[in-house]
Structure 1
Amino acid sequence: MPTSEGSAPAREPAGSLALKKGLELYAQKDYEAAAKLFKKAINSCSCQIHGEMLLDSNEDILTGIENNQLKEVLSTLTPRSRRCDKQVHIHALDSLIATYEILFKLDKCLNLAVGMVNLAPREPKVYLRLGKILRLKSKQNLAYHMYRQGIELVERKNPNHSLLPKLRAQRDKVAPLVGFDPVTKFPIELVRMTFEFLDFKTLCRCLRVSKDWNNILTKSTVLRDLWHVQTYKLTHRSHPGIRRMLPTFKAYNKYGKNALRELSIDGLSHFLQWCKFSQVIEISQQLKVLKLREPRGSFELESLPPKLRLPQLTNLSLGYGVRPQPQFLEQLISACGSSLEELSVFELPYCARLASGQAPWYPGWVKLEKLKVVRLAYPNYESRADLGPNLRGIMELAPNVEEVWIDNLTYSPKMLMTKWPKLQYIFVGNHARLFTVVGEDNMEGSFNENMRELHFEGRSVQSRFSTCYPPMVTSNPQAPWLLTIHVGSSVLPQLRRLERLSILLHTPLTTSEFETVVRPGIESGTLRELDIRPFPVNILFGSLFKVVIPDWLRSESITYLSITGLTVANLCQYRECDEGLLTLVDRFPNLRSIDISNEQFSDALLAKFIQRGVKTIYHRAKQSKADLQEWASTHYNAQIISRPPPHLPSMHPDRQRFFNDHLQFSNTELP
């Protein structure tokens, strides 16, 4: 029987023969047979290291490559792993990997290629094969680090190896494809701060960037609260597939451990096409903010779970196009009555109780002790030949309101301040109807002297601040909702702590009215935003077109001002107009924003505004101001914006239906 010393040399020719026949079959595309011969050649090597033995340390080697510690990892593997630098063994293993590559068995290829690194760490052919497999698996970054470290290991033993130039060329080829991924390298706290700046739609798209990003965004406890705020803006062109809406919503909630805090849906009909509103609410029991809109038109909400509870909801907004049924609205508000702080309903429902002035609420509703902000609007297309809904019912239920926003409802200024003594912010839309009971005291002293914001729309200032007799329903068939009101004496409020004031009228204020309303806030130094439309231009010019701006109209606190009404008054054609406007702007040294609406001011005049410190000018003129925009941005870091200022209450996006149907002002512009 031959000894092991004598038998070893006999195995080498057998391995070489198997390798040669395997290469012939590979060339003939008989890959299965070739793979068997390559395995036979590997097993014939005297080192006795089989293919399965190469897989033991793969995970350690890949981690070492990723962390730029391949040499250190290989040195620790030496005691428990043997090496082999015989060319027949290496060539057979390389050919076997190439065969599996043709058969699309990339996972097997990767395992064997990583094992080759441990088998022969100084052989460049090892790194060429592993690099190709890594690139096929779209691991460009890992391939680059492998090439770089492989070159260092090969150069130490054989700096003049014939395959080193090819290895360097592959490194340089993959280098442009390598990018540093901060999400996987930076501290998780810094990653969280970065993702906080993204909107919800962009955050969802980040899930598809890579597996690393997906794992970090969905499994990290530090990033979990990013999924607590979800905003959906869906149209017929942009939505995530209506059949997948509910599973997608559940998945996003799962990423946040079912602790959704804020939900905003713009496009409610698309969102609920394949899931019910009751399902959404049941999943979101910890909601604090719920905002719903339907931009395509009316969408009726009718059903809710019978024992619904939303004990943490503080902000409820049913915006444009969302029409809740009376029972639905009562059930939803009752579910969050103990915590609700802000309520917005822009399409109040009509019901039989409307004639008694109690709709849509009545004394049986839950008390809203914590409610501080109320925004209510009644759709004009529902107006009937009656008084319409008023605020009396909600006043009884929510005694601590500080901000009210009303449109197309009947109100009494005296009652507002009597029932809501903490009221500091008021907006009354164009179609809100003033009503004061006979015998009620006049309005003098009825406004809270601590009022912070006052916003009114109407045909005249008297229509908002006058003492009136009870209205009678007109028989006008073209306007069945119009009320006949007998106007009495006008008592305008003098509010010395106002911070924001906007009055949008059909007819300009008189000089005395303007002074009565505006001067107290100007002189106290609290008024920051002044928006009177149209601006009473008679205070700018005298009878001979001389500048006669009153001395009191100056302030260092004003930062926003609207200037409208000059074009309608045919004043823009006079040279004195520019002089008067520049004098007016000079009265407010800290003025930073101006809205000129569609006034026909010259670019030269607007440039002078910017030179005086104005950083933003809003306009709706038809003429292009591209040259002025470029000049302002380049030299003064200022903006010329062709849209209305977004911060004004009258510009609220949920008033869109009212703008289209009824708010047609002759000499001023509403959005």
Structure 2
Amino acid sequence: MEQYRRGKYNQYHWLLRQLSSMLDMPESKRDPVEKLPHELLTMIWSHLDTDSLMRCERVSKKWQKLVLSDSVLWSKVSLGRPGKPGRLFPKFLNKHKNIRCLTINDTSYFKMTHDKLQMIMRGLPSLERLSLHRRMRLNNPDGPEDVPKLLGGVQGKHMTKLTHLSLNKLDAHTAGELLALISPSLQVLDLQGFLGKNLNGIMTRQSWPSLRKLRLKLSDDDYDPRIHLGQLNMNGLMNLAPHLEELHIKGYGLKFVDLGLHDMPFDKVPVSDVRPWQNLQSLYIGSVRSHDRLEDIFQGSFVLPALPNLRSVEILSDSAHLIDYLFTTCDEPGSPIPGILNDFTGTTAESGIASAGWPQLEVFRCHGPISTGILRKGLAEAATNGSLKVLELAINSDRSLFNHRIQVDLLKDWAFTSSPSVHHLGLYHFNWAQHYSNFDGEPFIDWLQQFPNVDTVTVAPGRHSGLLPFIEKLITHPQIKALYFDPTGLSSPEWYEITEVGKKYGVKMFNLDGGPLHVFDGGEFDGASPNLGLRV
């Protein structure tokens, strides 16, 4: 204000003079708490984070009384680095008994122990959502003496209200004991960073009768190659959590076994009339890991059942065995599945998640090849009735590009996918050139013409020379407004050139990061929102 007040002919001169005189008035120096109604103060203070609210308490006794008495402000609390709370933490809990959502973003310094967890559970009777995260993994997080008695004194009656839980990089003993007490009421579960066999033991130890949304994630930063990575048993998960509506899995190995040949503890779960996962609407499977041969992971004749209510399917792994076990089955235990690479157009969805079709499907993304028969079974009805919005397919896998390449006539083989409702179209691992060193993507552009309302395109053809003309054709295409692509096949000068072409034609360019299109939906739960990077 002083800067502009000196310039007599400045455009803000007269406005700032009037504002300055108003600020000097006694009326403007009054405490706003005395004038503003309580409802308006709540709206203003609701935009502050927890640290700012605690500072507001120290302004005056009147502010402290109003801030502490407003239960709306303290219904959702996020603590960054509590450090060693000592006697302050119990006092904090005693003042804010109405907390319904508590997030501790750095439990490494908080040193979460048996006593502190009891403080939270007994001191917050209204707690419904709890998020505990470590920023770094510790070799011995809580000390060996705390592990056997970690939650022994916490009674289940203090924890039955919890409906949302997010745990990141906590030790398996803490997570296992905590989940055993709250599993009957839990509706949303977000587990990240659990290594080895810990995850499988945690998820198959008890049933999850109320669980609706589940995310199991192991990022590259959390992965330790020195620790054996166990496989998550999909049979046990399906039997113990039959009412799932949303499932996100990334970074773990998956195991399918024949329950008739393997004695599993979850076989003793009472059989109900509810068919498992018939309410599932969103399925996301990212990259999968294993130290064993993939052929040995998938055993027996078990396959996931038909899931007719799916609205979003994202399979971002190009593992042929994983895709086979999701969409098909084998005739007898241990026999090989009729591979999609051997009969790409003939296999049909006799069983598997697409066998009943997906009439309500809105998003379908798969980074590995699927037979035309299975695609027609799963996608044809959704494309016809106009529900399909996002479609990403793959012709080959990343591995098959270097040995056995498949050629697909998109206009002929995939004509059933054409729909005016699709606005996002993508294709992975494709090249129609006769010689592998060259690149031909013209059939994709011809296929694009069959979708009149597509404005967003995703392409990841792989490492080929001669990609530049193809990318430029997509940028200059009259329909395209946004383009996601993998730049590994482009040199730095080519990248700069297409960036300039994108600016000229007003096309938004994004580096493909392989994340999910739909975030994990945990409601307004802080701990259930992955960082999607450029794809958002």
CA contact (8 A) 1:395 1:420 kept: yes
CA contact (8 A) 1:388 1:409 kept: yes
Greater RCO structure (CA 8 Å; 6+ sep): 2
CA contact (8 A) 1:628 1:640 kept: no
Q: Secondary structure at the match of 1:331?
A: helix
CA contact (8 A) 2:188 2:213 kept: yes
How much identity, in percent, do the aligned residues show?
Answer: 18
Distance 1:298 1:420, change over 3 A: farther
CA contact (8 A) 2:162 2:186 kept: yes
Q: Secondary structure at the match of 1:345?
A: strand
Aligned mates of 1:518, 1:271 — CA distance in 2: 49
Matched, 1:293 2:133: yes
Aligned mates of 1:216, 1:617 — CA distance in 2: 51
Q: Deviations over 1:7-66 (max 9, x none)?
A: xxxxxxxxxxxxxxxxxxxxxxxxxxxxxxxxxxxxxxxxxxxxxxxxxxxxxxxxxxxx
Q: Which residue of 1 aligns with 2:5?
A: none
Matched, 1:411 2:256: yes
Aligned mates of 1:209, 1:282 — CA distance in 2: 27
Aligned mates of 2:427, 2:66 — CA distance in 1: 54
CA contact (8 A) 2:71 2:98 kept: no
**Structure 1: which amino acid aligns with 2:186?**
L
Aligned mates of 2:201, 2:189 — CA distance in 1: 16
Q: Secondary structure at the match of 1:487?
A: coil
Distance 1:612 1:258, change over 3 A: same
CA contact (8 A) 1:293 1:322 kept: yes
**What's the TM-score once normalised by structure 2's chain length?**
0.62
Aligned mates of 1:350, 1:605 — CA distance in 2: 47
| Greater displacement, 218-227 / 257-266 | 218-227
Distance 1:556 1:260, change over 3 A: farther
How far did 1:314 drift? 0.8
**Structure 1: which amino acid aligns with 2:392?**
D
How far did 1:195 drift? 5.1
Distance 1:304 1:531, change over 3 A: farther
Q: Which residue of 2 aligns with 1:450?
A: 309
Q: Which residue of 1 aligns with 2:451?
A: 588
Q: Which residue of 1 aligns with 2:17?
A: none
Q: Deviations over 1:603-644 (max 9, x none)?
A: 7545435x5263x44455363576567667xx6xx7444463
Distance 1:143 1:189, change over 3 A: closer
Distance 1:362 1:209, change over 3 A: closer
For structure 1, the 5+ residue unaligned runs are 1-139, 150-177, 234-238, 472-484, 657-669
Distance 1:184 1:208, change over 3 A: farther
Q: Deviations over 1:445-491 (max 9, x none)?
A: x41322333333242243543424545xxxxxxxxxxxxx7324765
Aligned mates of 1:179, 1:598 — CA distance in 2: 65
CA contact (8 A) 1:539 1:549 kept: no
Q: Which residue of 2 aligns with 1:189?
A: 39
Q: Which residue of 1 aligns with 2:280?
A: 423
Aligned mates of 2:258, 2:529 — CA distance in 1: 22
How far did 1:522 drift? 1.8
Q: Deviations over 1:101-152 (max 9, x none)?
A: xxxxxxxxxxxxxxxxxxxxxxxxxxxxxxxxxxxxxxx9997115xx9xxx
Q: Secondary structure at the match of 1:359?
A: helix
Q: Which residue of 2 aligns with 1:648?
A: 517
How far did 1:389 drift? 4.9
Matched, 1:462 2:297: no
Distance 1:307 1:188, change over 3 A: same
**Structure 1: which amino acid aligns with 2:164?**
N
Aligned mates of 1:414, 1:425 — CA distance in 2: 25
How far did 1:571 drift? 9.3
Match of 1:263 among 93, 102, 106: 102
CA contact (8 A) 1:426 1:454 kept: yes
**1:30-429 to 2 correspondences below 5 Å:** 144-146=24-26, 187-194=37-44, 196=46, 200=49, 204-205=51-52, 216=63, 219-220=66-67, 224-232=71-79, 239=81, 242-243=83-84, 245=85, 257-272=96-111, 276-297=116-137, 302=147, 303-304=150-151, 306-308=153-155, 309-319=158-168, 321-325=169-173, 328-346=174-192, 359-360=201-202, 365=206, 367-376=207-216, 381=225, 388-406=231-249, 407-411=252-256, 419-429=276-286
Q: RMSD between aligned alpha carbons? A: 5.3
CA contact (8 A) 2:118 2:154 kept: no
Q: Secondary structure at the match of 2:329?
A: strand
**What's the TM-score once normalised by structure 1's chain length?**
0.51
Aligned mates of 2:285, 2:42 — CA distance in 1: 42
Match of 2:479 among 599, 612, 616: 612
Q: Secondary structure at the match of 1:561?
A: strand
**Structure 2: which amino acid aligns with 1:230?**
V
How far did 1:512 drift? 5.2
For structure 2, the 5+ residue unaligned runs are 1-19, 261-265, 267-273, 340-346, 522-526
**Structure 2: which amino acid aligns with 1:532?**
L
CA contact (8 A) 1:346 1:654 kept: no
Q: Deviations over 1:154-176 (max 9, x none)?
A: xxxxxxxxxxxxxxxxxxxxxxx
**Structure 2: which amino acid aligns with 1:229?**
K
Q: Secondary structure at the match of 2:214?
A: strand
How far did 1:211 drift? 6.5
Q: Deviations over 1:379-428 (max 9, x none)?
A: 7858769x855244444443333333444131359999954443343334
Q: Deviations over 1:349-406 (max 9, x none)?
A: 7679x9xxx834667x4x5322223334687858769x85524444444333333344
CA contact (8 A) 1:428 1:455 kept: yes
Q: Which residue of 1 aligns with 2:263?
A: none
**Structure 2: which amino acid aligns with 1:369?**
P
- Greater helix content: 1
**Structure 2: which amino acid aligns with 1:452?**
R
Q: Rg: which structure is higher? A: 1
The count of corresponding residues between Structure 1 and Structure 2 is 439
How far did 1:313 drift? 0.8
How far did 1:315 drift? 1.5
How far did 1:189 drift? 3.3
CA contact (8 A) 2:214 2:247 kept: yes
